[in-house]
Amino acid sequence: MSHDTIFDALGDPTRRRIFGMIRQEPTGVGTIAGRLPVTQPAVSQHLRVLREAGLVSVEKRGRRRIYHVRPEGFEPLRAYVAAFWDGALEAFGSSFVKEEGT
């Protein structure tokens, strides 16, 4: 997955709320739908987007499906942000070295 896919998946406020619920505790579609003003089919579609983005996984327990957060799914986003941070640190280090050498 790419960082763009993750941004797209979490760009929707309802998906962010759903993801937040799963982050607190692995849970099923019915529980999520009961806590939001969204239909169960809509929750299922949001979960599909999160699953396809690699952010959640699903575990079958009998007839229920329990969704879990996949921390490794954030690796592309983590790498994307780290690239900015690394660049900022390099720029800071370069300016510090220049000031000491002056």
User: What share of residues in the chain are helix, strand, coil (percent, to 5)?
Assistant: 70, 15, 15
Q: How many CB atoms lie within 10 A of CB 55?
A: 26
pLDDT digits (tens, 9 = 90+) for 63-92: 999 999 999 998 988 888 888 776 666 666
pLDDT, tens only, 15-37: 999 999 999 999 999 999 999 99
Q: By residue range, what is the domain housing residue 55?
A: 3-101
- For residue 49, what is the domain's CATH number? 1.10.10.10
Q: Any residues with CB less than 8 A from the CB of 51 and at least 6 apart, and which?
A: 57, 58, 67
pTM: 0.79
Q: So what's the pLDDT on residue 3?
A: 84
Quickly list DSSP for 79-96.
HHHHHHHHHHHHHHHHHH
- CA atoms of 11 and 15, how far apart (whole Å): 8
**Number of domains making up the chain:** 1
